[in-house]
């Protein structure tokens, strides 16, 4: 499957697993053992192992992991002000009067 996934067609659990896999790949690319990532994020190594296996993790811990791996800005991008006004997302189509 391509990197550009249409997330609306994927269940949240799949996204969690893909996120965990991406963290695992980034960690390995940086030659960082799970023990070091755990120590630098302030969590037990079991937390890292469970996350990489199941995708389950507290949001704050995920942010700490992103910080350690140098990817915290990726989260900031999620909350950028949209180029299109939010009101356009919720606007009902206008029907001509009959």
Class of domain 7-90: mainly alpha
Q: Where are the domains of the chain?
A: 7-90
What's the pLDDT tens digit per position in 58-97?
Answer: 999 999 999 999 999 988 888 887 776 666 656 555 665 6
Measured in degrees and rounded to the nearest 5, phi and psi for residue 50 equal: -65, -45
Per-residue b or e along 28-49, where b marks 16 or more CB atoms closer than 10 Å to that residue's CB: eeeeeebeebbeebebeeebbe
What's the pLDDT tens digit per position in 8-53?
Answer: 567 889 999 999 999 999 999 999 999 999 999 999 999 999 999 9
CA angle 63, 70, 12 (to 5 degrees): 40
């Amino acid at each position: 499957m391509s990197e550009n996934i249409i997330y609306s067609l994927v269940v949240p659990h799949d996204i969690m697993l893909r996120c965990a896999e991406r963290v695992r790949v980034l960690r390995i690319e940086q030659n960082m053992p799970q023990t070091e990532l755990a120590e630098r994020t302030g969590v037990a190594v079991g937390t890292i192992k469970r996350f990489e296996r199941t995708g389950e993790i507290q949001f704050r811990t995920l942010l700490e992991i992103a910080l350690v791996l140098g990817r915290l800005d990726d989260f900031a991008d999620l909350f950028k002000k949209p180029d299109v006004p939010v009101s356009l997302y919720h606007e009902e189509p206008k029907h001509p009067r009959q």
